[in-house]
Amino acid sequence: MRTFLTLVLAAAALSLTAAAAAQVGSGRAGAERRADPAKQAVAYGSDRLQVVDYWAGPSANAPLVVFVHGGGWKRGDKRMMDGSAKLSHWRAQGYAVASVNYRLVPEATVEQQGADVAAALAALKARAATLGFDARRMALVGHSAGAHLVALVGTDPAYLLTAGLSFADVAGIVPLDGAAYDVAAQMGDGPPIMRGTYEQAFGTDPARQARLSPTRQAGAPNAAEFLILHVQRDDGKRQSEALGAALRQAGSSAVVRGFPGRGLRGHAQINRELGDPDYPATAVVDAFLARIFG
């Protein structure tokens, strides 16, 4: 009975998340109705979703934090950054901030999503002088599916190389409570209610699943610095620890930290409350960014 109730509650939570994401994407959210004069759009491709929202820092040499949203690889929107604790906090810390839209499954593949993240980073770097940030200090942060994508871009060099970049262009990577760092393991270990989402994103071919698994791609070279955060979801904890171990074995610095919060509530909390000074992960991310940005 407890298992059944857990699945019902999880399904309800996912439905609410999808509804909220759809509302943001359609432009009905309150934050979107009020235009933010500090925000500007940067296109990095011809598709309507290949756009980044950008907020300048306080100076032309401000570091840049690039955020990649979650949503099960099939939903979500860059405008989820609007009005968030992350945005106000990072700007107060002296950083420029960008929030990336990317093409979504099933119209696009996860491979194309990884390419979009890299292309967005390249477009921002090419415009650094105009936008006003230090192109030598860029970090990638992603939540949920976005955590998987930033980890993938940070472990498979093909994505950045195709965009004209390299791992040297990324000061650090912060995946927030991601999953599918090892796709095959996630499919066997993750909650049954998510299995259809994983199959839609990654298919059933083991070779493709391995190519899209940051843990499997983490043989050197990789990005130099990782901070991998998770809440107390059993599968997320295992996935995060395995990715960290693989990165360290390959020579990267990879710190893995866990925070309170269980299940989908904790999964949403780390994204919603990051940037709140009272949320424990905020200070950890602050220290990491301060160190890698020097």
52 strand-pairing partners: 42, 100
Q: Report phi then psi at 188, rounded to 5.
A: -85, -25
Could you tell me if residue 73 is left (phi over 0), alpha (psi between -120 and 50 degrees) or otherwise beta? Answer: left
Domain 35-293 class, CATH top level: alpha beta
The pLDDT confidence band at residue 38, using thresholds 50, 70 and 90, is very high
Q: Report phi then psi at 70, rounded to 5.
A: -100, -170
The DSSP call for residue 221 is P
> pLDDT value at position 34?
61
CA distance linking residue 74 with residue 59, whole number of Å: 36
The DSSP call for residue 267 is H
> pLDDT value at position 6?
36
As a whole number, mean pLDDT of residues 60-79 equals: 97
Locate the domains of the chain by residue range. Answer: 35-293
Mean pLDDT for the chain overall: 90
The pLDDT confidence band at residue 285, using thresholds 50, 70 and 90, is very high
> pLDDT value at position 21?
39
Give the Cβ contact number of residue 81 at 10 Å. 21
Q: Which residues, including other chains, have CB under 8 Å from residue 70's CB and lie 6 or more apart?
A: 76, 142, 143, 144, 145, 146, 147, 271
The pLDDT confidence band at residue 194, using thresholds 50, 70 and 90, is confident
Q: What is the CA radius of gyration of the chain?
A: 18
Q: For 4-30, write each residue's pLDDT tens digit.
A: 333 333 333 333 333 333 333 333 333
Percent over 70 (pLDDT), the chain: 88
Q: Is residue 64 classed as helix, strand or coil in its secondary structure? A: strand
> pLDDT value at position 190?
77
pLDDT for 85 beyond 90: yes
Q: For 116-173, write each residue's pLDDT tens digit.
A: 999 999 999 999 999 999 999 999 999 999 999 999 999 999 999 999 999 999 999 9
Q: For 259-279, write each residue's pLDDT tens digit.
A: 999 988 999 999 999 999 999
As a whole number, mean pLDDT of residues 93-105 equals: 98
CA distance linking residue 179 with residue 189, whole number of Å: 10
> pLDDT value at position 2?
33
As a whole number, mean pLDDT of residues 223-231 equals: 98
pLDDT for 1 beyond 60: no
Residue in this structure with the two tokens 């905020």, named with its chain if needed = 282
> pLDDT value at position 12?
36
pTM of the model: 0.89
Percent over 90 (pLDDT), the chain: 84
The pLDDT confidence band at residue 35, using thresholds 50, 70 and 90, is confident
CA distance linking residue 110 with residue 81, whole number of Å: 22
CA distance linking residue 287 with residue 44, whole number of Å: 30
As a whole number, mean pLDDT of residues 215-244 equals: 97
